[in-house]
A and B are shown apart, each in its own frame.
Chain A
Amino acid sequence: MTSIAIPRPAYAERPWILDWLTTVDHKKLGILYLYTTMFFFAVGGILALLVRAQLAVADNTFVNNDAYNQLFTMHASAMLFLFIIPVWAGFGNYIVPLQIGAADMAFPRINALSFWLIPPAGLLMFSGFLFGGASDVGWTAYSPLARSSGVGLDLWIIAVIILGVSSTIGAANFMVTMFRMRAPGMTMFRMPIFCWTMLVTAVLQLLATPVLASGLAMLYIDRNFGGSFFDPNGGGNAILWQNIFWFYSHPAVYIMILPGMGIISEILPVFARKPLFGYKAFVFATMGIGGLGFSVWAHHMFTTGAVLKPWFGFMTFMIGVPTGVKMFNWLGTLWRGSITFEAPMLFALGFLSMFLIGGINGTFSAAVPVDFAIHDTYFVVAHIHYVLFGGAVFAVFAGLYYWFPKIWGRRLDERLARIHFALQFIGFNLAFFPMHLLGLDGMPRRIATYSESAGWETLNLISTIGAFLIGVAMIPFIINVVMAFLRPKDQPNDPWEGNTLEWWTTSPPPVHNFDSLPEVHSERPLWDLRHGNAAH
């Protein structure tokens, strides 16, 4: 075995609170990201439970219509802008430099800026509740409705612009880090698959987020300076907002799911003891999804009557192809493997089975006439939750269970993890499967209440029970984490027999990450060390 020695720089000791507030260490920033985003996950989850409580029975008056609109708007805004998108930046921050054998991100201080923009933006967004009501026009903020909503929406616009800046500069940082700071021997096609998905995500963020920022600037001008961008009476265009918004937000859907796919693709090979089946095909499929992601935005707008329906329908169907390739590659990885079922693997398999549904029920919207029926109904709500909860959230937990020993050096309890998984899996399906049926039966999304005569009560009640079960599922998780912090830091470098460089260094890693680096000859350098190159 050969390794490359790395000189160790000296560090100054600082009080820990100052250290955390001023750190530019990618690992500490990664941990701050994870704490912050999990906090907003909890907030968004509580809002979701309030939404479900209101919808549990017909003609409910648990919250009024005004409050309801704020609840679901802030639920989605918190979950998308303050949880899912930045949580990947959190995992990426901690893991990407370790996986490519770098000492830090390319721009550590810009990295700190990326993080520190998020908490104030989150507070700003939620401060609307103190000033006469938070944004109440949905996370999509469709104009012209959004031209006349209250001051909560201005706060929301500014918050989303700040979050956009955070994710844009973060994206440039990730790209430079991965282009320029890989360990000797690590060619692009030996880069771990999680890094690849972070890279494609970064490209999408860099190119799509500024377009949203331009749209938000227009909306702000319309609202505050008498602009006419989205006002047909002044020569503006009511559909323009949707075009700009979805030009960002459809790629954003892939921003929200691609890193999750990357995490799954790290976990499956480790616990099936085989390499990822079709590594290069997987990389190309990821790029394909990223590229096609820019050409399907108008499938959110078929019912506006203002878009070229056959083209966007066709492209939307096509994006199912690289997604299918990924699914088959994951199956190929499991096939003839030697599979064990530790917590990360349970959540990874949960991801596969649920994301499959999210992939399939999305194709219905590509069939334009079927979309006429299901658009803006609970069918679409079911679809996005199978993708973003069944997909992204399961991947978040898979990643947390997988990297917890590395990040915190402590062990999570397997039994509690299994209870967490079972409750979350059942609760998730109870909450979201009935929404397919509700949507088909004609229940529109974003309605504060429904009439008893509509006949939607039973399914809604089941869904509400499922949502609360998801809430209950978080209890064993929290207990697990708290108990882990009471245990000593006793985890070895490589508790799972991992493949990638983060398992080469100590758990948790030293400030400078690596005392030495092994030679990299494949995308699984640690596997090569354990089994020799002959095992290929």
Chain B
Amino acid sequence: MPSTGKLRVIRRVNLLISAALLAIASISPAFAGWGMPEPITDQAKRIQDLWVFTLIIAVAVFFAVEGALLYAIIRYRKKSDALPKQTHGSTALEIVWTTIPVLIVITLFSYSFIVLRDVEKKAPSDALSIEVDGFQFSWQFTYDLARLGQGQAPAQEGTFSIIGTAANEPTFVIPVGEPVEFRLKSNDVIHSFYLPNFHYKLDVVPGRDNRFVITANQTGEFTGQCAELCGINHALMRFHVRVVERAEFDTWVAEQVANKATVRQP
């Protein structure tokens, strides 16, 4: 029979748990993607699946260990002056609790290795390829008219660029449903090209040719920013991407080309 004191404690704990659940429920719509923002590329979806898988294991481990800790704290409070049994260890247990983490990490490693291989696939040679120049403190996105992707015959020679400033954040445009390659360049310091909805970032390193590929699977406008400290206005190195249907993309390119100011002949 629990004492009334104990009952009161249990009631309080119940109240606390319900309050916590309520709090979680109230903020959960904001974190529908298991904490991550909406994935907008095929690659991001794979990474999110890996994240969810890892998170489930992590949460399970957390509750198991934290639960055991709480149990031990409550159950084995000092009740008498009698000495507890002096156990110095157990080789069998040590082997078990070394093996279990090894199995868990091998599982996680294998899965993450597969995802890594898939998200780092190279771009097909006819894919749209955009050169991204990071500089203190904005971005320049350069399109090569000969590499606009999707079997489009090269319209003409030359390039055009979207150039931002810290005050005037650049917006670039990509088509949905086809691979797009980003080639990252920097001439000053290291930046990092990070778009949360890609679930991906890659550093923009002077002297390195870093590139990656995404295939967007939905349209919309999304915001990214520099993720590597690059100086005083690092926080203002934001950019926007508009993902649109192919036809709209072609129209946009035509507009850019028509605006001769941004087109440079080779």
Binding site for B on A (CB under 8 A): 65-66, 69, 136-138, 142, 144-145, 148, 232-233, 237-239, 272-275, 277-281, 303-306, 309-310, 313-314, 317-318, 320-321, 324-325, 327-329, 331-332, 334-341, 349, 352-353, 356-357, 360-361, 363-364, 366-370, 372-373, 375-377, 436-437, 440-442, 444-451, 453-455, 531, 535-536
Do residues B98 and A440 form an inter-chain contact, with CB atoms below 8 A?
Answer: no
Docked pose: A339 CA to B236 CA in angstroms: 53
Q: Does B260 contact A (CB under 8 A)?
A: no
- A448 partner residues in chain B, CB cutoff 8 A: 234-235
Do residues A367 and B54 form an inter-chain contact, with CB atoms below 8 A?
Answer: yes
- A445 partner residues in chain B, CB cutoff 8 A: 227
- B82 partner residues in chain A, CB cutoff 8 A: 338
Among the listed stretches B1-9, B12-20, B44-52, B247-255, which one makes contact with chain A, having 4 or more residues with CB under 8 Å of it?
B44-52
Docked pose: A318 CA to B190 CA in angstroms: 30
B44: nearest chain-A partner, CB-CB: A373
Residue in A142, A367, A536 whose CB lies within 8 Å of B108: A367
4 further A-B contacts with Cβ under 8 Å, apart from A332-B90, A366-B112, A437-B31, are A304-B210, A336-B87, A339-B76, A369-B46
Do residues A275 and B203 form an inter-chain contact, with CB atoms below 8 A?
Answer: no
Docked pose: A130 CA to B83 CA in angstroms: 60
Among the listed stretches B140-148, B150-158, B191-199, which one makes contact with chain A, having 4 or more residues with CB under 8 Å of it?
B191-199
Q: How far is the CB of A394 from chain B (nearest CB, A)?
A: 14
Residue in A69, A303, A361 whose CB lies within 8 Å of B192: A303
Among the listed stretches B65-73, B125-133, B172-180, which one makes contact with chain A, having 4 or more residues with CB under 8 Å of it?
B65-73
Docked pose: A281 CA to B65 CA in angstroms: 19
Docked pose: A237 CA to B35 CA in angstroms: 36
- How many residues of chain B are within 8 Å of chain A by beta carbon? 83
Docked pose: A256 CA to B109 CA in angstroms: 27
Residue in B108, B196, B203 whose CB lies within 8 Å of A317: B108
- A66 partner residues in chain B, CB cutoff 8 A: 232
B61: nearest chain-A partner, CB-CB: A360
Given contacts A238-B190, A310-B116, A336-B85, whether A373 and B47 have CB atoms under 8 Å apart is: yes
Docked pose: A232 CA to B209 CA in angstroms: 12
Given contacts A145-B229, A369-B116, whether A442 and B37 have CB atoms under 8 Å apart is: yes
Do residues A278 and B90 form an inter-chain contact, with CB atoms below 8 A?
Answer: yes
Docked pose: A142 CA to B166 CA in angstroms: 22
Docked pose: A368 CA to B113 CA in angstroms: 8
Most chain A CB atoms below 10 A, which of B46, B200, B207: B207
Docked pose: A448 CA to B229 CA in angstroms: 10
Q: Does B86 contact A (CB under 8 A)?
A: yes
Residue in A335, A339, A369, A441 whose CB lies within 8 Å of B50: A369
Do residues A373 and B65 form an inter-chain contact, with CB atoms below 8 A?
Answer: no
Can you list 26 A-B pairs with a CB-CB distance of less than 8 A? A65-B233, A65-B236, A142-B229, A238-B208, A274-B85, A275-B86, A278-B88, A303-B192, A304-B208, A305-B210, A317-B108, A324-B100, A331-B65, A336-B76, A339-B72, A353-B69, A356-B62, A369-B199, A370-B50, A372-B200, A375-B227, A437-B35, A440-B37, A441-B36, A441-B196, A442-B37
Q: Does B257 contact A (CB under 8 A)?
A: no
Would you list the 3 A-B pairs with minimal beta carbon distance, nearest first?
Answer: A232-B207, A442-B196, A447-B235
Q: Does B215 contact A (CB under 8 A)?
A: no
Residue in A324, A368, A440 whose CB lies within 8 Å of B35: A440
Q: How far is the CB of A89 from chain B (nearest CB, A)?
A: 29
Given contacts A237-B207, A367-B50, whether A451 and B108 have CB atoms under 8 Å apart is: no
Residue in B55, B119, B227, B235 whose CB lies within 8 Å of A369: B119
Q: Contact mask B220-247 → A, CB, 8 Å, 1/0?
A: 0001111111111111101000000000
Most chain B CB atoms below 10 A, which of A137, A327, A373: A373
Do residues A137 and B35 form an inter-chain contact, with CB atoms below 8 A?
Answer: no
Most chain B CB atoms below 10 A, which of A238, A280, A329: A238
Docked pose: A65 CA to B234 CA in angstroms: 9
Given contacts A142-B229, A448-B234, whether A321 and B84 have CB atoms under 8 Å apart is: no
Residue in A281, A338, A375 whose CB lies within 8 Å of B94: A281
Do residues B78 and A338 form an inter-chain contact, with CB atoms below 8 A?
Answer: yes
Docked pose: A310 CA to B231 CA in angstroms: 31
Residue in A273, A332, A337, A364 whose CB lies within 8 Å of B58: A364
Do residues B78 and A340 form an inter-chain contact, with CB atoms below 8 A?
Answer: yes
Do residues B201 and A376 form an inter-chain contact, with CB atoms below 8 A?
Answer: yes
Q: How far is the CB of A276 from chain B (nearest CB, A)?
A: 8
Residue in A305, A306, A367 whose CB lies within 8 Å of B112: A367
Docked pose: A121 CA to B78 CA in angstroms: 47
Most chain B CB atoms below 10 A, which of A321, A325, A445, A454: A321
Residue in A339, A352, A531 whose CB lies within 8 Å of B77: A339
Docked pose: A448 CA to B233 CA in angstroms: 8
Residue in B51, B69, B109, B236 whose CB lies within 8 Å of A334: B69
B99: nearest chain-A partner, CB-CB: A321
Q: How far is the CB of A301 from chain B (nearest CB, A)?
A: 8
Q: How far is the CB of B163 from chain A (nearest CB, A)?
A: 21
Docked pose: A237 CA to B207 CA in angstroms: 7
A236: nearest chain-B partner, CB-CB: B207
- A277 partner residues in chain B, CB cutoff 8 A: 87-90
Docked pose: A37 CA to B146 CA in angstroms: 61
Docked pose: A446 CA to B225 CA in angstroms: 12
- B227 partner residues in chain A, CB cutoff 8 A: 303, 375-377, 444-445
